[in-house]
Homo-oligomer: A and B are copies of this chain.
Amino acid sequence: MVHTTQCCILMGCLCLFYPWSQVCEWREPEELAALLDLELRENGEPQHQLLQRIRDVAKYSVKTNHPRFFNQLFAGVDYHALTGRFLTEALNTSQYTYEVAPVFVLMEDEVLSKLRSLVGWAEGDGIFCPGGTMSNMYAMNVARYRAFPEVKLKGMWSLPRLAVFTSQQSHYSVMKAAAFQGIGTENVFKVKVDDRGCMIPEDLGETIELAKSQGAVPFFVHATSGTTVQGAFDPLEPIADICDRQGLWMHVDAAWGGSVLFSKEHKHLMRGVERADSVTWNPHKMMLTGLQCSAILLKDTTHLLKHCHSADAKYLFQQDKFYDTSLDTGDKSIQCGRKVDCLKLWLMWKAVGSKGLEERVDRAFTHTRYLVEEMQRREGFELIGKVAPVIKERMMKQGTMMLGYQPQGGRVNFFRMIVISPQLSHQDMTFCLNEIERLGNDL
């Protein structure tokens, strides 16, 4: 049978991942397009050709599972999570009603509840979203709805000009959300950060007053636990004090940093998170579940999420069903069909336990600390500047590793090293530094 053969090949590709020495096999776009023969035609192709296609797709794709892929906030592979992802694909369902997704409705509930308990909430609400940006958008939308429920019916014309607050180094999804939701990027006020990239609470207070003096109505503070570039954790306690005093919705974007809550040693970085109204947390980042796995968690127990997003479609959410229709959780979502994102996390969690996930987080911090110490011992790692793009080009073309660079604020280009994969060792950290030196040796 077709699928058996192909799946075997696939497994073959999988097993090849790790021993492959290269993280990527760089090809110029034109050359790659020709190699892949992407064109879709009138007639189908024979079996052997399809198998070759599958091999080519794997060969020329970046091996994000490779231990030396440090390029994004996701990396590595957990085989339990991968099994959960395969099973999700095989079962192919949509997470909207108990009748269609009985197992996953209950499972999502359990996983969300467990994530909430790590935040420090005994109850609350939440949903899995297609990525952290969507989760952040949910937070902004629900916050707006709590402050001005008439917005759902009447739109923004019934509301005063609103103001959103976030740090200068928060993720760009805040801007995307403000634009998409009709708030406008000009109404996102940027709060100053300190040297480490953490929001300065005093400046938050002042910025709120500034917005008010301009006639805008503050409603939403978007703090960050684990910024995208520096990995900074905003000080949540003083931010919560300000939100309390001003009656603002406090959102914590912990897409990247949330996983520290598993660690007794590092969870202090998010001290005060239980005072937030909502938290974004992407297990597909530090937890290695694989894309996509992002949760928006809410402290709310008044069904705000459902009231804000529901459209009561009769073909899906019939009220004369023979079971408890509160299990039909799909109307909390802004989506209709929604992919099952909980199984991969649940299965991995079952397999290694909270303890195993804690160890994973601790190990990533240990590697990072080692890397920083090693870097301080070496010369020439302070400023990379104009040589970074050249080192990056050589790195990609030789395929030895992958990490990203960018400028920030007044600083010139620097490399951003993301350390996640449990397959990593101190040797990999040393390799990485040696490799940057080697690639930039003549510059």
**A87 in contact with B54 given A335-B130, A407-B314 (CB within 8 Å):** yes
**Contact residues of A between 162 and 178, Cβ < 8 Å to B:** 162, 171-173, 175-176, 178
**A182 in contact with B161 given A6-B83, A102-B27 (CB within 8 Å):** no
Q: Closest residue of chain B to A26, judged by CB?
A: B102
Interface size for chain A: under 10, 10 to 19, 20 to 34, or 35 or more residues? 35 or more
Q: Does A77 contact B (CB under 8 A)?
A: yes
Q: Is the CB of B290 within 8 A of A44?
A: no
**A45 in contact with B82 given A57-B103, A172-B336, A184-B154 (CB within 8 Å):** no
Q: List the B side residues contacting A57 at CB < 8 Å.
A: 87, 91, 103, 343
- Once bound together, how far apart are the Cα atoms of A402 and B156, in whole Å? 42
Q: Is the CB of B315 within 8 A of A132?
A: no
Q: Does A224 contact B (CB under 8 A)?
A: no
Min CB gap A58→B, angstroms: 7
Q: Is the CB of A350 within 8 A of B50?
A: yes
Q: Is the CB of A71 within 8 A of B100?
A: yes
Q: Does A28 contact B (CB under 8 A)?
A: yes
Q: Is the CB of A90 within 8 A of B353?
A: no
Q: Closest residue of chain B to A229, judged by CB?
A: B315
Q: Is the CB of B92 within 8 A of A38?
A: no
Q: Does A443 contact B (CB under 8 A)?
A: no
Q: Does A364 contact B (CB under 8 A)?
A: no
Q: Is the CB of A314 within 8 A of B406?
A: yes
**Contact residues of A between 144 and 172, Cβ < 8 Å to B:** 151-158, 161-162, 171-172
Q: Closest residue of chain B to A28, judged by CB?
A: B323
Q: Is the CB of B155 within 8 A of A40?
A: no
Which of A29-37, A205-213, A235-243, A425-433 lies at the interface? A29-37
**A133 in contact with B334 given A6-B80, A100-B64, A354-B40 (CB within 8 Å):** yes
Cross-interface CB contact of A180 among B85, B158, B179, B334, cutoff 8 Å: B334
Q: Closest residue of chain B to A319, judged by CB?
A: B389
Q: List the B side residues contacting A200 at CB < 8 Å.
A: none
Min CB gap A411→B, angstroms: 11
Q: Closest residue of chain B to A145, judged by CB?
A: B179
Q: Closest residue of chain B to A39, judged by CB?
A: B110
Cross-interface CB contact of A284 among B98, B156, B337, B347, cutoff 8 Å: B337
Q: Is the CB of A337 within 8 A of B292?
A: yes
26 A-B contacts (beta carbon < 8 Å): A1-B79, A33-B106, A40-B111, A42-B353, A44-B356, A45-B353, A57-B343, A61-B101, A62-B93, A62-B99, A77-B92, A85-B89, A130-B338, A133-B336, A137-B180, A137-B334, A141-B180, A157-B157, A172-B311, A179-B311, A180-B180, A182-B183, A228-B313, A291-B339, A315-B406, A315-B416
Given contacts A3-B14, A44-B356, 5 further A-B contacts (CB under 8 A): A14-B90, A24-B102, A29-B106, A40-B353, A318-B406
Q: Which 6 A-B pairs have the closest CB atoms?
A: A182-B182, A155-B184, A3-B79, A156-B156, A130-B130, A322-B393
